Amino acid sequence: NPQSSVWVVLLQYANGSCCQAVQAENVTVLEGGTAQISCRLQNYDGSIVVIQNPRRQTLFFNGTRALKDDRFQMVLFTPRLVRITLTNVSVSDEGGFFCQLYTDDTHHQVATLSVSVPPDTPTVEVRQEAVEGGEVELTCLSPRSKPPATLRWIRDRREIPGVVSQQENGKTVSVSSTIRLPVERKDNGAAVSCEASHPALGGQKRVRHYRLDVYFAPTVRIIPPPGILREGDSLSLTCSITGNPLPRDVQWTRINDTLPERAEISGTTLQVSRLSQSHNGTYLCQAQNNYGRAADHYTLLVYDPGAVIETHSAVPYAVIGGVLALLVFTIICVLIITIWCSVRQKGSYLTHEASGLDEHGEVQEAFLNGNDASQGKKEYLL
């Protein structure tokens, strides 16, 4: 414990031939600890030594206990040093302890006892509950320290500035720091910390960890069974629910109809045994808490013996439609090209046929006119 010396008081006899001196030492101690109060003597000649508490009650008279308080003990009495101890120190013990020498004149020196009160681990109070889309108000409280503790809010290794207030409680001080944080659903469970530092802690900190409790409306999602269910199989639907607080009751219904007689509900799971076409329909899972409600649906369609199609599954109808359209388009193109080629070949045949008829006419005309077949040096084959 840090100690400092107080200036020496000199006690002089009237003849000035001899002098005595007493020196008292100031003491600082932690609350609950043990304080040593010392009076150092110089040129002590056996005069009466008295030690008194801050209320001027005599504790010891020349080494003899004068006050019935077992916390005080005389541990040393020599011509040079008088020392007492005080155990389980409290702030009420603070003040000046008197070291007195009774000679021709009474002289004294004061040893000041200071008590330091380190803070306990602070507490976190929620002044306003956290609701999704709103704000939460948190107050960190260190109810008792001396000197006042320093409070800091930390989130994700960053300090959050707070509004600090202090209130004196006798010799100790109550310190608080308040912050307001906007909150969303994703902040539920996020960690924040309040740190208390104090000179008596020697560089250490008292830390209170707190996790945000954000209230929000539920979300509901039906988890469908894997694969294709066949007639006679069992159907199992699980309703996955989130929310804070988590809804306790889950409601299963079938839109515009009642649940099948063989339907069984266990917690969030709906089971239907021995499926048939009579089980067709849309099944609804609903849940609610104080902040809202939500639902999800699942449609069963038994359209072919032994096959159950669920509308929740991601069937690639768009892909199938695109393939069919491409196939039809290809067929049409092939037909068009085939017809076009056929028409073109037929046109070429008719052209050659017409050319042959023209040549036949010229031969017939020459024959009728009696011209010599050798005239013009032409030959015609009929």
Contact 124, 138 (CB under 8 A): yes
Beta carbons of 149 and 119 less than 8 angstroms apart:
yes
Q: For residue 174, what pLDDT is reported?
A: 97
Q: What pTM did the predictor assign?
A: 0.64
Alpha-carbon distances of 115 from 32, 194, 259, 345, rounded to whole Å? 9, 25, 74, 119
Give the residue from 5, 81, 10, 4 showing the smallest Cα distance to 40.
81
CA 221 – CA 286 distance, rounded (Å): 9
Rounded CA gap, 200 and 150, in Å? 12
SS3 content of the chain, % helix, strand, coil (to 5): 20, 50, 30
Element (H, E) at 239: strand 235-244
Distance between CA atoms of residues 272 and 349, nearest Å: 74
CA distance 285 to 220: 7
From the list 177, 181, 110, the residue with the least C-alpha distance to 142 is 177
What per-residue confidence (pLDDT) applies to 321? 72
Q: What is the pLDDT of residue 317?
A: 55
Q: In sequence order, what are the residues at sequence separation of 6 or more whose Cβ sits closer than 8 angstroms to the Cβ of residue 73?
A: 84, 85, 87
Q: Which two tokens stand for residue 162?
A: 């707070």
CB atoms within 10 A of CB 283: 24
Q: What does the alpha-carbon distance between residue 116 and residue 338 come to, in Å, rounded to a whole number?
A: 106
For CA atoms 308, 312, 313, 317, give the dihedral sign.
Answer: positive
Sign of CA dihedral 61, 66, 67, 68: positive
**C-alpha–C-alpha distance, residues 39 and 109, integer Å:** 9
pLDDT, residue 249, reads 86
314, two tokens: 């991601």
Radius of gyration over every alpha carbon of the chain, rounded to an integer in angstroms: 53
Q: Which residues of the chain have pLDDT under 70?
A: 1-19, 104-106, 302-319, 346-382
